[in-house]
Amino acid sequence: MARLIIVTGPTGAGKTTYSLSQAREIGAVRFSIDPWMQNLFSKDMTTLDYSWMLERVNRCYVQIWSVSEQILKLDGNVILDLGFTTKEQRTRFRELAMKIGVDPEVHYLNAPSDIRKKRVETRNVEKDPDVYSFEVTDFMFGFMEPKYEVPDKDELVNGRVVNA
């Protein structure tokens, strides 16, 4: 039976590291939003404009779902490491999965802000190609911090909380 894992958590929670691990463990195709945004749009971005970025993130979501749906219909496993900052974003993908008969799993990675900040600083220095797509500045970290919406119990019915 196909599995769809929706990985969510605030900046620096370890979403990409966790997604890579889960993909190896269950034999899944992993989609990560950061390289998509970096490769497709970073050269076009002149300033940090949240609405500009969200519009492009949504374009990527459409394309990523198109491929994910094909994999899931073939009984394959998919892990979505797409940030999923808001409940609305997660609900969109949960509903798409349920329409094709897949029970989505939301995996929420939780870690204190100070630990996440240190992880981001380390990632910025080490630039490990498996987890680094672009530098997350202090401004970006602070900007995104209040935007993250923690999943509620209904979202986590088939999922789990991972204290990272």
Q: What topology does CATH give the domain 4-163?
A: Rossmann fold (3.40.50)
DSSP state of 45: -
CA distance 37 to 150: 23
pLDDT at 30 over 90: yes
- pTM reported for the whole predicted model: 0.84
Spell out the domain ranges in the chain: 4-163
Residues 40-86 have pLDDT tens digits of 767 776 666 777 777 888 888 999 999 999 999 999 999 999 989 99
d(CA 132, CA 140): 15
Q: Residue 156 in contact with residue 84, Cβ under 8 Å?
A: no
